[in-house]
Amino acid sequence: MTDDELVGLYAQGNNVAFDILLSRYESKLYSYIFYIVHDEEVANDLFQDTFLKVIMRIQEGNYTGYGKFQAWITRIAHNLVMDYFRDKEQANTISNDEADYDLLNNIRLAEHTTEDQMLISQSLKDAKAIMELLPEPQSEVVRMRFYENLSFKEIADKLNISINTALGRMRYAVINMRAIAQERHIALYAE
């Protein structure tokens, strides 16, 4: 089957089709990412984030690269790698040159205000409460990914499931958490 046929089947709910796509491209894609970042842990995370994004875009009907699946997933991986390097660079750079005030002595950069801490605390409580409303397989993956900081490969190994299943559970958990938050009029604070 062609990549586009498999994408179409997966969009209709056939998880085996996605497993085939994953097996076709996982080695090439991981090698591409690792070649750029030179760090196995970072490469694993970016690889998993790439396939999570691929899953979400296909399920949302946003795959439009007919006949160009490999180029499409490589572009997604490339963009995530570039985002990683941008974030890494920004985390290590503080410039005082273009500011109207002294950035280096600004208390808001050093710590959160009381209001920020309250918002973050409430958001974490809301997110945990929402997570507890998820079906157990979904909440388990969310807990392992964000509270135990496990990679999707580690989650899959620990739960004795495929990476695709772990990614799928995370995708549905995100969708369900958004729906629950919207239904309950909860706006989760993003720092």
Q: Hey, is 117 helix, strand or coil? A: helix
Q: What is the pLDDT, as a whole number, of residue 96? A: 55
Q: What is the DSSP string of 76-99?
A: HHHHHHHHHHHHHHHHT----TT-
Burial of 11 (0-12, 13-18, 19+ CB in 10 A): middle
Name the segment(s) of the chain with CATH classification 1.10.1740.10: 1-97
Q: Is the pLDDT of residue 108 over 70?
A: no
Of the listed ranges 64-73, 101-110, 181-190, the one predicted with least confidence: 101-110
Q: Is the pLDDT of residue 117 over 80?
A: no
Q: How does residue 166 score in pLDDT terms, banded at 50, 70 and 90?
A: confident
Question: Treating both helix axes as pointing N-terminal to C-terminal, what angle do 152-159 and 163-183 enclose, rounded to 10 degrees?
Answer: 100
Name the segment(s) of the chain with CATH classification 1.10.10.10: 112-191
Among 1.10.8.100, 3.90.1150.10, 1.10.10.10, 3.90.25.10, name the CATH number for the domain at 112-191: 1.10.10.10
Encode pLDDT of 44-78 as tens digits.
999 999 999 999 999 888 887 777 999 999 999 99
Q: Hey, is 93 helix, strand or coil? A: coil
Dist CA 99 CA 95 (whole Å): 8
Q: Two tokens at 184?
A: 């309950």
Encode pLDDT of 132-164 as tens digits.
888 899 889 888 887 888 888 889 889 999 888
Instruction: Note the CATH number of domain 1-97.
Output: 1.10.1740.10
Does residue 115 or residue 131 have the better pLDDT? Answer: 131
Q: What is the largest CA-CA distance in the chain?
A: 61
Query: What average pLDDT is seen over the chain?
Result: 82
